[in-house]
Amino acid sequence: MASEDAAKAARKDARKAEKKAARKAEKRAEKLLVLRQEESRPQGRAEDQTSSMATASDGVPAPAAKRLKTDVGGPSQMDVDAYLALHEITIHEAGAPAPCLSLAAAPFKAPLLKLLMAQPTFTAPSAVQAASWPVAALGRDVLAIAKTGSGKTLGFLLPVLSRCGTAERAAAKGAPLGLIMAPTRELALQIHAEAAKYGACVGVRAAAIYGGASKETQVRALRRGVELIIGTPGRIKDILDTRGGGKQAECGCGAFELLVLDEADRMLDMGFERDIRDIVWQAFGHGDGYRPHQTFLYSATWPLEVQGIASDLLTEAVKVTVGSGGDKLTANRSVAQRVHVVDGSRRWETFVELIAGGAGREGSRCIVFANRKDTVASIAKYCQGEGLACECLSGDRSQAQREGTIRRFKAGEVTLVIATDVAARGLDIKGIERVINYELPADDFQDYVHRIGRTGRAGATGEADSIFTDADRRYAKELTRIMTEAGQPIPPAL
């Protein structure tokens, strides 16, 4: 008990220190922003920034964190230590730059900063953003391990947009500069929507490239000229003609200088490793190696498979870990997890009680997960009969139908979505208050963490209810671990 009280007191002190540090950093960062806006020249490219680093007597660049202390608006070491401790951030390189503690301190061009700071629900960088943005600004490869819902998309997207400067775009003559790969169509479309939103203010265009939709339409978008290709490995492989060595490629590959692998662990789980390697070689291969480029690899877990591809595709990357990370998936502490241990015959009755408690009512959003398409259809039929604005999201629906459901869910026209694990990743919708697991994942229990990660995103809180029966006993130990590490109460029956 004493150790628990001490830990609580330490967390409380850390929060106080962080708030104080954030206030100081905000004031300093505002001064820094004014100075940036007054500079006559545009922000230099990452390699120029790197070359201008202070150099020690032995010719090795001085540690970035020490240099930043002397910058206008730079956080003190006490500020940095408090922030890292509170947010469980580990930056695995002693000389890496300190995290940016406020949006105003983000290392981006003025138009992008202005738009970023104008977002009403975006008041501070998430932990992974704060730690990775300064690293990315130096042109270093970034390897980030962070839980689902932690803000990874803007963690890589804003640095990528900043790198697509006027000079780079002019030199590329309409050819793409960046390539972003994601495991699912839904995630690719989410990233593309953010790229369109933030890219407009810096003149960066993006094309979404994915299967299940018209290839001709996507090719036309490429031919009009884009700076970013965002898509899934299968369709990107076709567009770049990796099988034919690029002879029939729909766009030039010579200008590529940025690569992003988002949710790398999921892409490898889905069997995309060979496709990824072929695409990277087609886009960046040169002679016996690769042309110089900057790579961002983001993942929720750090298994051996991800370690292997990271070792091959990244160069002297700075690794950033948020939370425990590592080989095992961790849940978002902002999500209140409740597990209802019942007899299998009471599964439906328990679900009806959960729905009757207000899930999916007007003004709220909820996702219900089930394992089979026919189960999804049955649940949706019942909920629609109860007068709920409910639709399905499963693999048997066309891409147009799925996109329509997601669009209506975002707009609030649909408040309850019944889904298979097609929605477990890549569905980044603000305001999802609750997730209900009608059934726990049947094949890969990692999907439990990704399912409940649809709520409690980007600093918000959420709730997750899961129905647990005797058929799920094989998952009891892992579920207990996940809940314990997230600070959730464990039901005695579990």
Q: How far apart are CA 100 and CA 199, in angstroms?
A: 21
Task: Please state, as a whole number, how many other Cβ atoms lie within 10 Å of the Cβ of residue 77.
Answer: 12
Which residues, in sequence order, are CB contacts of 358 under 8 Å at separation 6+? 364
Our separate counts of H helices and E strands in the chain read 19, 16
The three-class DSSP label of residue 156 is helix
Q: How far apart are CA 97 and CA 64, in angstroms?
A: 5
Helices 233-240 and 273-284 pack at an angle, to 10 degrees, of 40
Confidence (pLDDT) at 5:
53
Bridge partners, residue 492, by sequence? none
The three-class DSSP label of residue 99 is coil
Measured in whole angstroms, how far is the alpha carbon of residue 341 from the centre of its chain? 32
Confidence (pLDDT) at 1:
46
**477 exposure class (CB count in 10 Å sphere: 0-12, 13-18, 19+):** exposed
Bridge partners, residue 467, by sequence? 340
Query: The tokens of 462 are what?
Result: 């959420």
Query: The tokens of 401 are what?
Result: 């139908």
Confidence (pLDDT) at 246:
81
Q: How far apart are CA 432 and CA 412, in angstroms?
A: 10
Confidence (pLDDT) at 25:
44
Query: Residue 55 has what DSSP assignment?
Result: B
**53 exposure class (CB count in 10 Å sphere: 0-12, 13-18, 19+):** middle
Residue type, 404: G
Confidence (pLDDT) at 479:
93
Q: How far apart are CA 52 and CA 7, in angstroms?
A: 42
Residue type, 178: G
Which residues, in sequence order, are CB contacts of 118 under 8 Å at separation 6+? none
- pLDDT tens track, the chain, 494 positions: 444 455 445 445 544 544 454 444 444 444 444 444 443 334 433 333 333 333 333 333 333 333 333 244 567 888 899 999 998 899 999 889 999 999 999 999 899 999 999 998 888 999 999 999 999 999 999 999 987 778 899 999 999 999 998 888 888 888 899 999 999 998 999 999 999 999 999 999 999 999 988 899 999 999 999 999 999 999 999 999 888 888 888 888 889 999 999 999 889 888 899 999 999 999 998 877 888 999 999 998 887 788 889 999 999 999 999 986 555 667 778 899 999 999 999 999 999 999 887 776 767 889 999 999 999 999 999 999 999 999 998 878 887 888 888 889 988 899 999 998 876 665 667 788 999 999 999 877 878 988 888 888 766 789 999 999 999 999 999 999 989 988 899 999 88
Helix (H) or strand (E) holding 351: helix 347-356
Query: The tokens of 407 are what?
Result: 């669009």
Contact 183/426 with Cβ under 8 angstroms? yes
